[in-house]
Amino acid sequence: MLSSADVRVMRADLPSVTAQVYLNAGTFGPLPSVARDAMRRHLDWAATSGRIGSAGLDLWHELEAQAREELALVLGCGSEQLALTHSTTDGVNSVLAGLPWRAGDEVVTGSVEHPGLTEPLAHLTASRGVVVRTVETTAGRAVASVAAALTDRTRLVACSHVLWSTGEVVDLPGILAAAGARGVPVLADGAQSAGAIALDLAALGCDFYTVSGQKWLCGPSGTGALYVRPDRLEHLVPAWRGYVTHDRSPGAPGTELWPGARRYDVGSISLVALAGLVASLRWRSGHGVAAGCDYAAALAGRLRVQLADVPDLDVADPGGPTPFAATSPPPAVNPDALVRQLESDGILVRWVPGPRPLLRVSVGPWNTDEDCAQLVLALRALPRGG
């Protein structure tokens, strides 16, 4: 668990966190000064060096290798098991496009999924005739619901590890056990898990796991990764091929795919963004990712208790520790207008659409009880309909 002194040190590295109450890491995490500086240095070098030549080529490969290594440390896997992507959705599409599908095959997915997963699944239905079966994955029902939906036609389970609405941590190990018993692979959307909860992908044993760099990992936008379990490499065809998907190391023929997940790299990632991602990952690792996750979950838990005491707020129960707090706004309050009002008050949150729109608060290890108190005070001051 982080100490108050640890949190103060983190906050000193995050100008955006001290400029306002920053409670929206689930969309974009605050960018550390070290990442900004690393991106500026690379951009300055690129502008003056001409970007290429042997030094530029070496730097390109070095940044890719460093990004893979730093991501592997945070995610708990081997660097050779990671492909570099621009987003979580890139990883989702890589998996869906790389599996062999026949019309009538089935995918089981969750009831509260981000469009980054639901839209690629909808395309799979339209283009390949795959049937998507949606099951209830909230309130601890995920394992039983998924297990009941598996049939002889099920070819994949695709669901979030952490729900983007309430932050509920889905029982992914239970889903993996249920699906694995039927020989069905699992694709996990880890957009809201990497950096929000402690991860050990090697121990978890998920078939495919895709993450974003710009959320809880505090990296720049346009970064992410796809984890592919080694025994799944021969079952997943690269969705596209190009210069970065083939082994072009000295002495290699250049016509063979990379032996690991690098074969699924989505193309050239901005080197400026990679420089920032490496710096952000090292920054987060240097402050202890697991300790930060524990601190944020405890802080969000205290916030949910305080929000429950605010009139007309219906606070969602995530069922366990999570760095999220979500609540339905008062009935007469437009959620988008509420978010904009809070922003004008210097408080950054977001709202999540659905049958019951939610005000979602993403609490990071850089936040404090004082930050949460300002949010609660602002919500108490909302005009109520009479």
Strand positions, DSSP E, the chain: 21-22, 82-85, 106-110, 131-135, 154-160, 186-189, 208-212, 224-228, 314-315, 324-328, 347-348, 350-352, 358-362
pLDDT in tens, 174-204: 999 999 999 999 999 999 999 999 999 999 9
What is the identity of the amino acid at 123?
H
pLDDT of 247 higher than 90: no
Domain residue ranges of the chain, discontinuous segments joined by +:
4-30+288-380, 40-285
Structure confidence at residue 384 as a pLDDT band (50, 70, 90): low
Does pTM top 0.85 for this prediction? yes
Look at 55-64, 226-235, 249-258 and tell me which has the smallest mean pLDDT: 249-258
Predicted local distance difference test score (pLDDT) of residue 383: 77
Predicted local distance difference test score (pLDDT) of residue 385: 59
State the CATH class of domain 4-30+288-380: alpha beta
Predicted local distance difference test score (pLDDT) of residue 332: 83
Query: Residue 212 half-sphere exposure, CB side, CA atoms within 13 Å?
Result: 25
Cβ–Cβ under 8 Å, residues 71 and 289: no
Query: Residue 251 half-sphere exposure, CB side, CA atoms within 13 Å?
Result: 0
Please state the rounded mean pLDDT for residues 261-281: 96
pLDDT in tens, 18-65: 999 999 999 999 999 999 999 999 999 999 988 888 988 899 999 999
Element (H, E) at 39: helix 33-49
pLDDT in tens, 82-104: 999 999 999 999 999 999 999 99
pLDDT in tens, 308-340: 999 999 999 999 999 999 999 888 889 999 999
Could you say which DSSP state residue 17 is in? Answer: H
Percent of the chain with pLDDT over 70: 99
pLDDT of 386 higher than 50: no
Structure confidence at residue 255 as a pLDDT band (50, 70, 90): confident
Q: Work out the mean pLDDT of the chain and round it to a whole number.
A: 95
The CATH code that applies to domain 40-285 is 3.40.640.10
What is the identity of the amino acid at 37?
D
Look at 9-13, 189-193, 244-248 and tell me which has the smallest mean pLDDT: 244-248
Cβ–Cβ under 8 Å, residues 277 and 216: no
